[in-house]
Structure formats: structure tokens, C-alpha cells
Amino acid sequence: MLQPIVQLSCDNTARHSLWSDLGQALRDRKRDYTRQPINRSIVLLAIPMILELLMESLFAVVDVFWVSRLGSDAVAVVGLTEALMTLVYALAIGGSLAATAVVARRIGEQDQEGAAQAAGQILLLGIATSALLGIILAYFAADLLGLMGATSSVVALGSDFARLMLGGNVSVFMIFLINAIFRGTGDAVIAMRTLWLANALNMVLSPSLIFGWGPMPELGVTGAAVATNIGRGIGILYQVWHLFGDKGRLCLRARHLRPSPPVLKRILAVAGTGAAQLLVTTTSWVALFKILALSGSAALAGYVIAMRIVNFALLPALGVANAASTLVGQNLGASLPDRAASAVTMATRFNVVLCALVGAIFVFFSEPLAGLFTTDAQVLSNASRALWIVCLGFPLYAAGMCLAAAFNGAGDTWTPTRVNFVCFWLGQIPVAWVLARQLTLGPNGVYIAVLLSFSAVAIWNAYLFRCGRWKIKQL
């Protein structure tokens, strides 16, 4: 009788520990991630990071949901402006990679003043970059829509929307950068709550300002841009309140906002290659769209649907990868490179298992999943084929994400940039063209090229990770 009782007690303890960790992950508390068990650290960081990513993805979904009620031209405005915003996102995410890496390193070194100074310089850099970019993009907003292929009616309807989104890109920059600072300190819960607040406001304000509900003016598609900027703006105020408060691991003061050339130079070096890393990826997607367009609109639409499903399904894996990035930065700062490597290995194993299960589901149920987004037979056929072909590589994609996060967390943003350049620009695009056009595989050739290129990224990252040079990267 004793053994079953002991076993039951152990099972209950394990279950209690799991639920306890889930509850702890959503609470705002100071934790030392260089001392806690690695598996628990991953859980405590990954859960709020996953929820943060889910909230970030909701902005575009909410805007498109309500704007679609205004007609196809309004949807085109949002889609074309979102394509233009990829430059902003690339620069902002590049800066956020640097923010997490540098701040996490200083936190690991127990250098609170150095972390605060780095955060202050990141804010200065973000404000300066977004202001300059905003002035230029806002001034040429209508021309940029035209260059993207917008009709005269779409340009007339969407110029104000594009001007507000592009000119107000400071809200994107700052919410990304400050959340990256919080992730670097290990305060992922604050980053998550910021997106909850910003999204809740956007969900209420977007339809109100688009349709003129209640006391709100009826602004049409422009109302979506106003709502998004207000939601993000108030989210930033919430961030700043915490950033300059006394309760977090980082206490920013006015002196930290004075320019420090050595720190700025260090951050720019990491942020520059981080932005290049994202630009390589996004521009390669543009090239694939061009190749797919030669096969007709059904192939293009099917691919868009499939990749939206894939990107959403990979959000949890990206959250785990972000957790690994923070743990790498902090543990390298604490002179614990082996612990940093163990954190990445554990996160990678978890990601591989999770994404293998999800990928298997998507392979077998690709058509019903794609059918949730379209009833057009040709589009559905292309979407389901793209989905099951691309999802065959889910385990490798998951591993590649964690390994790239290890390099980024160490401040070695150059390594994944180089890998992406070779595998996407020199590999994916030519292979997609040869398979699709020369070997007449059509859209399937593009889908196979995506599978091969991302798998190659994962394998190459694994080799470079084992070489271990990222462990000695100085920041």
C-alpha cells in the first residue's frame, strides 16, 4: 500500500508545482534567473512572453476585422500600409534584440547602474530613429502607397491612415524597445501587461472611431490608425511608469538619458545587424511572393493563408525562444556559459517536441484548417498543400528559433544574419525559382524551397551553437 500512496503524493506534488509555476509566471516579481532551476526559469519567462506575442498579433487582426466592413479598398489600405511598416518592424525588432542582449548581460553581472544606462541609451536611440523615419515616411505616405501598386481610389482613401501609421511609428518603436528592456531584466510580466492594456484600448477604440459609435467621430479607415496609436501610446505611458519606478529590477533616472557614445556605439553594433537579420528575412518573403504571383492569384492567396496559420502556430515556440534569449544574456553576464548553453538546449528540446506535435496535426488536417479561411476551391487547394509541405519541417524550425535566440541573446546578431543571408537570399530564392519555373513544379516548388531553407537554417545554427563561439561574445 505504501508505494501507491507515495506515487500519488509525488504526482500531486508535481501537479501542484506545475500549476504553481503557471500562477507565478503571471505575477510581477523580482527573480534571479541565474540561480533558479533552468526548467522553471524557462516556464516563468516563456508564458508571459507567449501571451505578449499573442497580444501583439491581435493589433492587425482587430484592424482588419473592422475595416473589412468598409469594403475592399479599405482592406487594401491596411494591407499595403502593413507591408510598408515591415521596415519599421525590422528596425524596431533589431533594436529590441540589442536591448534584451545588453540589458540582460548587465543584469547578469549584477550591474544595475549599467543596465539602467543601457536602457536610457536605447530609449534615446529609439526616439531619434523613429522621429527621423516618421517625418520621411509620413511626408511621402501617399507616394509610397502608389509605389506599392495602390489604385488612385485606394491612395485617396488611405493616405491619412498611412500617414498616421508611418508617422506615428514611434509608438511601435518604443513599445517594442521598452518591452525588450523588461524582458532583458526578466520582468516579462510587465511586457505582457503592456500589450494587454494596449490591445484592450484598441479593441474598444477601433470600431468606435471607424464607425463613430457613441460620442466618437466617424473617421472611417483613418479611425483604425488613430485607435492603434492611442492604444500603443497609453501602453508606453504604462511602461514608462514602471521603468522610472522603484519596484522593478531596473530604476531609470534622468541621468541615464544623457548620451553616452561608448554605450550607444555598442548598442548600434548589435541593433544594426539585428535589423539586417530581419530585413533579410522579410525581403526574401517579398521575392517569394513575386515568384508565386507568376502562378496566379489563387496560389498567392493560398500561400498567404497558410503562412498566417503557420506564423500563429509558431508563436508559442517563439515565446520559448525569447525566454532562452533572456537566460543566455543573464547567465553569460553572471559568467555561467555552461548554464546558458543548458538553458538553450532545454528550451530547444521543449520546442522540438511541441512543434512536432503541432506539425503532425497540421499535416493531417491541413485542408480543414485552411477551409476555415476560404471556400474558394483553388485557393483552398493551394493553402492546404502549402500548409502540409511547410509544416513537415516544424521540429527543425522550432530548434532553429531557439538556437538563433541564443546568438541574439549573447549579442552575436551577426551570426544569424549571415546564416539567414546565405540560406534565404542565396538559397531559398534561387531554389524556389528553379523548382517553380525551371522544373515546372509551380507553387509547390516555392513551398518546398521554404521547407528546405528553414531546415538548412536550423542545421547550420545547430553546428555554430556547438562550436560555442557565442559564449565568449563581449558586450
pLDDT > 70? residue 227: yes
Q: Report d(CA 198, CA 176) in Å as an integer.
A: 12
pLDDT, tens digit, for every residue of 22-67?
666 666 667 889 998 999 899 999 999 998 888 887 877 787 788 8
- pLDDT greater than 90 at residue 248: no
Per residue in 434-458, pLDDT (tens digit) is 999 999 999 999 999 999 999 999 9
- Mean pLDDT across 83-108: 92
Q: What is residue 20's predicted lDDT score, i.e. its pLDDT? A: 63
Q: Locate cell 536591448: which residue?
A: 99
Class of residue 143 by CB neighbours under 10 A (exposed 0-12, middle 13-18, buried 19+): exposed
- In the chain, the amino acid numbered 436 is A
Which of the listed ranges 41-50, 85-94, 458-467 does the model predict with the highest average pLDDT?
458-467
Supply the pLDDT for residue 124.
95
Contact 293, 443 (CB under 8 A): no
Q: Within its chain, how far is the Cα of 215 from the centroid?
A: 35
Average per-residue pLDDT in the chain?
Answer: 89
CA 120 – CA 128 distance, rounded (Å): 13
Residue 336 has pLDDT above 60, yes or no: yes
Helix then strand count (H, E) for the chain reads 19, 0
Mean pLDDT of 265-285: 91
Cα(341)–Cα(343) distance, integer angstroms? 5
- Amino acid in position 224: A
Q: What span, in angstroms and rounded, lies between the C-alpha atoms of 283 and 225?
A: 25
pLDDT at 17: 59
Cα 125 to Cα 229: distance, rounded to the nearest angstrom? 20
Quick one: pLDDT at residue 249?
A: 78
> Mean pLDDT throughout 407-434?
96
Q: Which residue has the higher pLDDT, 462 or 5?
A: 462
Q: What is the pLDDT of residue 1?
A: 46
Residue range 172-206, pLDDT digits in tens: 999 999 999 999 999 999 999 999 999 999 999 99
In terms of average pLDDT, the best of 274-283, 289-298, 426-435 is 426-435
pLDDT greater than 50 at residue 410: yes
Q: By three-state DSSP, how is residue 140 classified?
A: coil
pLDDT at residue 59, rounded to an integer = 78
Residue with the larger pLDDT of the pair 204 and 80: 204
The answer to whether 434 and 446 are in contact (CB under 8 A) is: no
**d(C-alpha 79, C-alpha 122), whole Å:** 30
Reply yes or no on whether the pLDDT at 268 is more than 90: yes
Which triple of cell numbers denotes residue 318? 517563439
Amino acid at 396: L
- The span from the CA of 148 to the CA of 84, in Å, is 8
pLDDT at 23: 64
The three-point CA angle 159-162-168 to 5° equals 130
pLDDT band at 137 (very low <50, low <70, confident <90, very high): very high
Do residues 368 and 327 make contact, with C-beta atoms less than 8 angstroms apart?
A: no
Give the Cα separation of 44 and 323 in Å (integer): 9
User: Are the CB atoms for 461 and 403 separated by under 8 Å?
Assistant: yes
pLDDT digits (tens, 9 = 90+) for 1-27: 444 444 444 444 445 455 666 666 666
Give the least confident one: 164-178, 206-220, 271-285: 271-285
Helix (H, G, I), strand (E, B) or coil at 59: helix
The phi, psi pair for 89, rounded to 5°, reads -60, -40
Q: Report yes or no: 415 and 338 within 8 Å, Cβ to Cβ.
A: no
Spell out a b/e string for 445-472, using b for 16 or more CB atoms within 10 Å of the CB, else e. Answer: bbbbbbbbbbbbbbebbbebbeeeebbe
pTM of the model: 0.89
C-alpha grid cell, residue 309: 496559420
Write b or e for each residue in 8-30: b if 16 or more Cβ atoms lie within 10 A of its Cβ, otherwise e: eeeeeeeeeeeeebeeebeeeee
Mean pLDDT, rounded, for 75-104: 90
Residue that is written with C-alpha cell 507515495 in the block: 6
* Collapsed DSSP state (helix, strand, coil) of residue 54: helix
Start-end of H helices in 294-376: 297-313, 315-333, 337-364, 366-371
| Mean pLDDT along residues 90-116 | 94
Q: How far, in Å, CA of 212 to CA of 206, rounded?
A: 10
pLDDT of residue 343: 96
Q: Is the pLDDT of residue 357 over 50?
A: yes
CA separation for the pair 17, 37 (Å, rounded): 13
Confidence category of residue 329, pLDDT binned at 50, 70, 90: very high
Burial 73-108 (b: 16+ CB within 10 A, else e): bbbbbbbbbbbbbbbbbbbbbbbbbbbbbbbbbbbb
